[in-house]
Amino acid sequence: MAEVVLFHHAQGLTPGVVAFADGLRAAGHTVHTPDLFEGRLFGSLEEGGAHVEGIGFGAITERGVRAAGQLPGDVFYAGFSLGVLPAQKLAQTRPDARGAFLVDACIPVTEFGTAWPQGVPVQVHGLEADPFFAEDRDAADRLVAESDDAELFLYPGDRHLFADSSLPAHDPEAAALLNERALAFLAAHGESGLRSR
């Protein structure tokens, strides 16, 4: 079974993020959900975004890196929207990263290095008409084109944070498919051991 660090989005460590983590746990995986907001939850993306801007995106990313640094290595990194920042940085920079799945966002790989590391599988998931994800679509396409083991999954719809069952944007059908694909990803790569980088 795999070990996963899952980072929450700009509205905080919501019950929906915890429920997604619990779904992975029910399949036998160990999932850590660091709280980058120290318990604070926000009722909208706008409120959460304002909070993040007050702290700084770099500071949020480093909070995630520090939280993961307290855990043993050899793990998968995952994130929803804002949480993609620390997840992607860790997947690209930690030599013991097993893989990553990124939901609602994708950062240009040049933000954290020169290329996606060889031998680190990655999935990117987003709704095809989500205006937030649309801003990251080029980065996602480039990641898939340039990586040796990357997949981009697009789902119909225009909502952001579609996989969070505690928010109005939740899309049950797309979220169920994401969960199925994430579990298959972890099953395929979780037992294979570290690959050469």
- The pLDDT tens digits of the residues spanning 80-117 come to 999 999 999 999 999 889 999 999 999 999 999 889 99
- What is the longest distance spanned by two Cα atoms in the chain? 43
* Superfamily covering domain 3-189: Alpha/Beta hydrolase fold, catalytic domain (3.40.50.1820)
Q: Rounded to whole angstroms, what are the CA distances from 59 to 54, 66, 86, 98?
A: 10, 10, 10, 24
User: Which tokens belong to 129?
Assistant: 């008409």
Calculate mean pLDDT across residues 178-193.
86
- Distance of alpha carbon 168 from alpha carbon 71, whole angstroms: 33
Check residue 195 and give its pLDDT.
40
pLDDT at 191: 63
Please tell me whether the overall predicted TM-score, pTM, comes out greater than 0.85 for this model: yes
Q: Quick one: average pLDDT of 105-131?
A: 95
Which phi and psi (to 5°) does residue 30 adopt?
-95, 125
